[in-house]
Amino acid sequence: MRRPTGDRLAGRVALITGGASGLGEATVRRFHAEGCWVMIADIDTRRGAALARELGDGAAFVACDHTDRAQDEAAVAATEAEFGGLDILHANAGGPFAGPFESADDATLDRVIAVNLVGAMKMVQAALPALRKAGAARPAGAAILFTASVQGISAKPNFSVYTVSKHGLVGLTRSLALELAPANIRVNAICPAVTETPMLAKFMPGFSGDMDEARVRMKATIPLGRMPEAVDTANAALFLASDEARMLTGHALPIDGGQMAG
């Protein structure tokens, strides 16, 4: 497969967790199309390896559960070995939880916070030595992106556990943006509304009715009258990772068709 001809991320190296499907896969494809060397990190070895083979030159896969610090460190090391460095970390991996707050047992609480928040923190810690090198070497610096949610900047009933985890990511974004600015590392969060991905059905316990009815009601809450697609989040990630956003750090950007404007 020929190398992509886009150049908005030309010469850059990105590590994208949860990159085998959904928002992560869309971002992998978007970054790769713009000349970025992309390491796909995921627990889904079959889909991740297949995506890397499909994309060909400039893409590779590493199996990684980002809640495991040793696997995070191995993923960063594999990225540096394969592509010679690391300029962009997109901590995208996460998981859903929807339902009444009292329905979440201890195991669920531990899992949601670990997958959505603590895992992202561990991955950043693993990547920071490489990102500091990139920040020192590149005038526009290095970049960290988190996939949060509109639930990270707002709230609705029956999503409380998930909302706590995503609010944590937004708080982490703002704090790290200040802490890492002297190292020339920008930190931003992407906050999509409910999006048409394979994960959508897993949020359904938070809604009443069937999927079609839920989609109608969700679209009714979005001023533009349509739900985001995965590529919409990928486009935002591309902008925030690029030099075009070199003065943007500490932001939580809604991808919501105007939902947060009211």
Report H helices in 14-105.
Answer: 22-33, 45-55, 69-83
The catalytic residue positions are 162
Collect all residues with Cβ–Cβ distance below 8 Å to 106 and sequence separation of at least 6: none
| Contact criterion met (CB below 8 Å) for 92 and 17 | yes
Q: Show the beta-strand stretches assigned E in the chain.
A: 13-17, 37-42, 59-63, 88-91, 142-147, 185-192, 252-255
Q: Any bridge partners for residue 254, and if so which?
A: 191
Amino acid occupying residue 115: V
What does the alpha-carbon distance between residue 173 and residue 175 come to, in Å, rounded to a whole number?
A: 6
